[in-house]
């Protein structure tokens, strides 16, 4: 009994050590080769996707495809504070005011409750100003395209690390999550909004990553790629946490950026009377891992108890992400190997 117990325990310890060594060596193994940085390429002369027919639209602050109305582009005149639903032919299908919102100059569109479209208007206060907080307005995508005044819910969000100048807001179509990208001349930082927004409490952003280049606008592609507009180029990330996979040099003017529904073109809305929307070709697709990506957990609880004002988009992905899932798998492996050594030790003693 005593010898069997000692032998079994010895086998269990040996099994745990072997499994742990294998797990550590697997985690610490260096990649076979680092992927080379993409070489900036000059894009072919951009084509004109369409030209806005409405003279009221002279300074597009954003461009996003509709969800309830997938045949229109949502845009806004940053000077007149009016929403426009524009078709692929450039004609205005409807225009909307948002009386409860003040000072908004960009927008993002995501799926809301039940798969309905939700517009988020943001007051970025562009022009070099830095702020500790910024203001968002949530507006349900209109069910009917007819001129009207829309209601909005206001949210205040704050940075976790001091004041910044916000450059753009991105809406992830898969995660139904919003991101804020700050702006400087040579760098940017990406922050995720909380999964739940409270209208009567503060909402704290979570810093996701830093980018070593300036960002003036951006958008998600349907497959999870992220297109970011710089001063003289367009950079494509394989995902919000991934590396740049394509760089396009372009002289197109304008910061309002969108991606075509098929993911093959990036659209840039120029400024000026009846602005043109230019199209540049995109190459490649998102990495396979992007399909099941998990959003970062927000720092501290930031939800509220106001049932009429709080908004919680559906959560997706495995809890804990890849690291947490890998840890559970490692523990299971350790247990199985250790149990095998323990049983083998008991059999040897009995024999």
Q: Which of 4-18, 44-58, 131-145, 235-249 has the lowest mean pLDDT?
A: 4-18
Residue 127 is predicted with a pLDDT of 59
Average pLDDT of the segment spanning 50-55: 94
Write the pLDDT tens digit of every residue in 99-109.
Answer: 998 888 899 99
Return the sign of the alpha-carbon dihedral for residues 302, 303, 309, 312. Answer: positive
Q: Does the pLDDT at position 298 exceed 60?
A: no
- The residues, ordered by sequence, that sit 6+ positions from 69 with a Cβ below 8 Å of its Cβ are 85, 93, 117, 141, 145
First CA to last CA distance, the chain:
13
More confident residue, 181 or 174: 181
Pick from 159, 215, 208: which is nearest to 186 by CA?
215
Name 151's bridge partners: none
Choice among 78-87, 88-97, 238-247 with the minimum mean pLDDT: 78-87
Task: Work out the percent of the chain whose per-residue pLDDT is above 70.
Answer: 67
pLDDT in tens, 108-146: 999 877 778 999 999 887 556 789 999 999 999 999 999
Q: What is the mean pLDDT of residues 146-168?
A: 95
Rounded Cα–Cα distance for residues 190 and 61 (Å): 19
pLDDT tens for 70-89 read 999 999 987 768 999 999 99
**pTM, whole model, 2 decimals?**
0.72
What does the alpha-carbon distance between residue 298 and residue 193 come to, in Å, rounded to a whole number? 7
CATH superfamily of 52-286: YVTN repeat-like/Quinoprotein amine dehydrogenase (2.130.10.10)
Q: Please give the C-alpha separations between residue 90 and each of 87, 93, 335, in angstroms, as whole numbers.
A: 5, 9, 63
Q: What is the CA radius of gyration of the chain?
A: 25
- Calculate what percentage of the chain has a pLDDT beyond 90: 49
Sign of the Cα torsion 78, 267, 45, 93 reads negative
Residue 308 confidence (pLDDT): 30
Average pLDDT, rounded, for the chain: 76
* pLDDT value of position 128: 65
Whole-angstrom distance, CA of residue 104 vs CA of residue 13: 62
Is residue 65 pLDDT above 90, yes or no? Answer: yes
Residues 6+ apart with CB under 8 A from 76: 60, 61, 62, 82, 83, 84, 104, 105, 106, 107, 121
């Amino acid at each position: 009994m005593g010898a069997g117990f000692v032998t079994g325990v010895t086998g269990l310890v040996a099994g745990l050590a072997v499994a742990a060594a294998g797990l550590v060596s697997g985690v610490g193994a260096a990649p076979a080769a680092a992927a080379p940085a993409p070489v900036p390429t000059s894009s072919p002369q951009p084509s004109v996707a369409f030209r806005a027919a409405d003279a009221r639209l002279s300074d597009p602050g954003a461009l996003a495809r509709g969800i309830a109305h997938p045949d229109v582009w949502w845009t806004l005149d940053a000077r007149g504070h009016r929403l426009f639903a524009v078709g692929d032919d450039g004609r205005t299908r409807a225009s909307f005011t948002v009386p409860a919102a003040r000072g908004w100059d960009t927008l993002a569109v995501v799926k809301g409750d039940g798969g309905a479209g939700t517009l988020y208007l943001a007051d970025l206060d562009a022009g070099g100003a830095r702020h500790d907080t910024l203001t968002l307005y949530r507006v349900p995508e209109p069910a009917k395209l007819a001129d009207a005044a829309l209601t909005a819910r206001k949210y205040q969000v704050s940075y976790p690390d001091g004041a910044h100048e916000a450059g753009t807001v991105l809406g992830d179509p898969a995660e139904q999550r919003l991101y804020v990208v700050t702006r400087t001349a040579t760098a940017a930082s990406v922050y995720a909004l909380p999964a739940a927004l409270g209208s009567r409490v503060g909402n704290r952003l979570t810093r996701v990553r830093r980018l070593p280049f300036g960002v003036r606008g951006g958008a998600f592609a349907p497959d999870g790629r992220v297109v970011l507009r710089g001063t003289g180029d367009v950079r494509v990330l394989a995902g919000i946490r991934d590396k740049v996979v394509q760089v396009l040099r372009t002289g197109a003017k304008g910061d309002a950026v969108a991606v075509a529904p098929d993911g093959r073109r990036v659209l840039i809305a120029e400024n000026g009377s009846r602005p043109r929307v230019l199209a540049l070709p995109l190459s490649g697709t998102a990495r396979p891992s992007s399909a099941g990506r998990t959003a970062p957990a927000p720092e501290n609880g930031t939800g509220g108890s106001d049932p009429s004002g709080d908004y919680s988009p559906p959560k997706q992905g495995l809890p804990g992400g890849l690291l947490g899932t890998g840890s559970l798998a490692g523990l299971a492996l350790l247990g199985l190997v250790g149990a095998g050594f323990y049983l083998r030790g008991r059999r040897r003693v009995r024999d």
